[in-house]
Amino acid sequence: MPVAKKDKNVEILSSKRGFSSIKIYQVLRDEILALVLEPNQILDEAGIAARFNVSRSPVREAIVRLEGEGLALNLPNKGTVVTALSLEEFPQYIDALDLIQRAVTRLAAEFRSKDALVHIRHRQELFRETIVAKDVLGMIQTNMDFHLAIAEAGRNKHLLEAYRRLLISGRRMLRLYYRTYDDELPPETAASHDRIIRAIEQQDVELAEKLAREHAEEVHQRFVLLMSQRKTRNIAIR
């Protein structure tokens, strides 16, 4: 029997166990990335099962997937919670992003093939479409896909996997980054990608690395802005 739709965020699910698990995982993942499900929030299996009108078994499978992506954490005697988002670790994160992003972009400029360039450009167009549509979760995914396409062009599988793990772990930070623009990214965001593509196409390794560093620095500066915003400016004292 098909499962009834419970709310606007829950799609009508198939009665097939595997399909239900995947769809539950996708909905919960998107809500975690969008910060609808907040860091440290408990993922109550019984409540989630009732929401999706399924047994707890596919819910457990979905939560295991989330744990595998680092989005959920099982705590002894407490259950499973949304993984904490530590902004204190952001300086370390941006340092790692800077170093690996520069390396993979430089290698892409040196070793890219024509097919790799086509793939990178395609990923860029998909990213641009999500900006126009103001699709924040789409921006997060297509931005990651764009940068991973560059890493693939560099032909170093070890750096590629390290970069993939870094980008996956930083998706919620990227959500906060987009929030500093009120989720309406300026044209310069896509333009910076275009400049990186041109440097890779021209095999200008020095320029490619420079642009990759500037790209990471822009993210850093937006977070500095986010953390420096006053919390009391809209509070009236009577």
User: 59-79, pLDDT tens digit by residue?
Assistant: 999 999 999 999 999 998 888
**Residues contacting residue 48 through CB under 8 Å, at least 6 positions apart:** 24, 28, 59, 62
Domains located in the chain, CATH noted: 17-82 (1.10.10.10), 87-228 (1.20.120.530)
CA distance readout (Å), 231 to 14, 91, 227, 234, 235: 45, 22, 10, 8, 8
Question: pLDDT tens across 18-46, in order?
Answer: 458 999 999 999 999 999 999 999 999 99
For residues 20 and 13, the answer to whether their CB atoms sit within 8 Å is yes
pLDDT given at position 16: 45
For residue 238, pLDDT over 60 is answered with no
Q: Which pLDDT value is given to residue 234?
A: 45
pTM (two decimals)? 0.81
Q: Give the pLDDT of residue 91.
A: 87
Q: Which of 189, 217, 188, 195 is nearest to 150 (CA)?
A: 195
Please say whether the dihedral angle defined by the alpha carbons of residues 31, 159, 226 and 90, taken in this order, is positive or negative.
Answer: positive
Question: Does the pLDDT value for residue 15 go beyond 50?
Answer: no
